[in-house]
Structure 1
Amino acid sequence: MAVSDRGQQVSSDVQPPVGIDELLERVRAGYERVEPQQAYEAAQAGDALLVDIRYAALRERDGLIPGALVVERNELEWRLDPQGSHRLPEATSHALRVVVICNEGYASSLAVQSLRQLGLHRATDLVGGFQAWRGAGLPVV
């Protein structure tokens, strides 16, 4: 048994807490993120499904990426799991290349980790999120 920083006994197999910055670094080390232009080109070529996980107020305020599938974060795993009973028609295979887009590129990284745990081994996210997409002058409606 180990002793916590509060003097309580804890099991030695419990991992010490990790801050969000370190967690993001660890998660992102496991896959290659994409830049806005790369995501745009992959979507145009039919090689990637863009998935916008921003909440409604941000979509209403800032607009939408044409052709992106809107799936709010709390439904993402259920909608994209190819084996799931609540999957979307677009969730055809574990080999599907999904590019997750949040507002600034943080929440999307954690979402990618979850999708990869479901077997979507080509899931990635957009560096800088929607704001980087718009900042790059890519289409928004």
Structure 2
Amino acid sequence: MTRPPIGIDTLLDRVRATYTRITPEEAYAAHLAGALLVDIRYQALRERDGLVPGALVIERNELEWRLDPQGSHRLPEAISHDLRVIVFCNEGYASSLAVASLHALGLHRATDLTGGFQSWKTAGLPTTPPPRTP
């Protein structure tokens, strides 16, 4: 039996109801306390807008492979399922779906940044400028 489609807005609401999203200020404080910030924006956005200092850049299509503590392609930072991970995208939509995937892998403390990189930047938190092109 096929279930009727729910639409992306309903899917986001359902996913977000399973965890607590955090503000830029909360994310910054958590990062200073040792949480792992993960930037899943694609390269063109990083080049256009800059980076968050100290954030790991992991393209969305590699996220699960890099953060699964049991995975053969994990990053050295992926040491435990108890790792505090804060994912951000450009505006806070794709990151919510990414968190759902990380939860499915057992990374139960994963969350995302409400409003994404744009809200971080608007809050005046540290960023590095995009590289200059000749």
Fold agreement, TM-score > 0.5: yes
1:43 partnered with 2:28 = no
What is aligned with 2:54? 67
The sequence identity of aligned pairs, in percent, is 76
SS of equivalent to 1:96: coil
Higher relative contact order (CA 8 A, sep 6+): 2
1:21 partnered with 2:6 = no
Distance 1:112 1:39 in 2: 15
SS of equivalent to 1:76: helix
CA RMSD of superposed structures (Å):
0.5
Match for residue 71 of structure 2 among 84, 103, 107: 84
Shift of 1:73: 0.1
SS of equivalent to 1:33: coil
SS of equivalent to 1:100: strand
Distance 1:44 1:118 in 2: 25
Instruction: Describe the superposition over 1:101-136 as per-residue Cα deviations: whole angstroms up to 9, x where unpaired.
Output: 000000000000000000000000000000000000
Using the size of structure 2 for normalisation, the TM-score is 0.94
Distance 1:137 1:15 in 2: 44
1:99 partnered with 2:80 = no
What is aligned with 1:109? 96
Distance 2:41 2:6 in 1: 25
Instruction: Describe the superposition over 1:23-47 as per-residue Cα deviations: whole angstroms up to 9, x where unpaired.
Output: 000000000000000000010121x
Tell me, which stretches of 5 or more residues in structure 1 are unaligned?
Answer: 1-10
What is aligned with 1:8? none
Shift of 1:84: 0.1
* Deviation beyond 3 Å, 4+ runs, structure 1: none
Structure 1: which amino acid aligns with 2:29? E
Structure 1: which amino acid aligns with 2:31? A
Using the size of structure 1 for normalisation, the TM-score is 0.90
SS of equivalent to 1:116: helix
